[in-house]
Amino acid sequence: MIVRSIAFGLLVIAAVPAQAVVAIPGLFNSGRLANNSAVTTGTVQEQNWFLNGISRPWNSGSINGAWLANNSVSRWMTPTSNGNQSLDPISNGFYTYSIAFDLGKFVPGTASFNGRFASDNTVTSILLNGTQITQAGLGTFNQWTSFSAGTGFIGGLNTLSFRLLNLA
C-alpha cells in the first residue's frame, strides 16, 4: 500500500501576539526532512509520517511509472524501501499513515488546511483526531484527490491519518 500526500494551504491564526496567518507547525508533506527541506533523490525513511502508528514508512525513489511522479514538493510513502514491491495485505489489508502536529500555541478553532493526495489502492478515510473528514473510497495513483479540514482541531497535539486498503 502506497500513499502520496501533499498538505498545502495550511493556515492557523496565532493566539499571541497578533492575529497573523501562519503555516501549521509540524504538518508536513510526505517526502520532507525533519527541517522541512525536500528529499530529492534515492530512497530514505520518512521523517514526519508514521505507518500503522509504530514505524516510519519509506520515501521511495523507484516507483511505478503509471503513478504521479515524485517531485520536490512531495514523494510517495511505501511500507518497504522498494516502491515497486507488490505487497500482500496486512492487518486485514489496511494501512494507516499518520502525522502529529501541535497547535498548543495557537487558537485551534481558527485552524484549517487544504491538501491533496494520490494512492494505490484506495483511501478509505482521512481522519483528523479520529473524526472522518472525507468520504470513503477516495484516490487514484495517477491523479490528485483534494481534501480539507476547517473544524475538529484541538489545543495541543492533533493527528491527521490516512487509512488505506491494499488489494495486493
CATH number at 152 reads: 2.60.120
Q: How far is CA 90 from the centre of its chain?
A: 20
Burial class from Cβ neighbours inside 10 Å (0-12, 13-18, 19+) for residue 25 reads: middle
Residue pLDDT tens, the chain, 168 long:
445 444 333 333 334 444 567 888 889 888 888 888 888 888 889 999 999 998 898 888 888 888 888 888 888 888 888 877 777 666 567 889 999 999 998 889 989 888 888 888 888 899 999 999 987 777 888 888 888 899 999 999 999 999 988 776
pTM for this predicted structure: 0.86
Alpha carbons 26 and 103: distance in angstroms, whole number: 9
**Domain ranges, residue 14:** 2-165
Alpha carbons 84 and 80: distance in angstroms, whole number: 9
Q: How far is CA 103 from the centre of its chain?
A: 17
70 secondary structure, DSSP code:
P
Alpha carbons 4 and 100: distance in angstroms, whole number: 17
Question: 61-65 long-range contacts, Cβ below 8 Å, gap at least 24?
Answer: 63/2, 64/120, 64/141
Q: How far is CA 12 from the centre of its chain?
A: 18
Q: Can you name the residues that pair with 161 across neighbouring β-strands?
A: 98, 127
Going by C-beta distance under 8 Å and a sequence separation of 6 or more, which residues neighbour residue 92?
none
Give how many domains the chain has, as a whole number. Answer: 1
Question: Can you give the pLDDT at residue 20?
Answer: 63
Burial class from Cβ neighbours inside 10 Å (0-12, 13-18, 19+) for residue 122 reads: middle
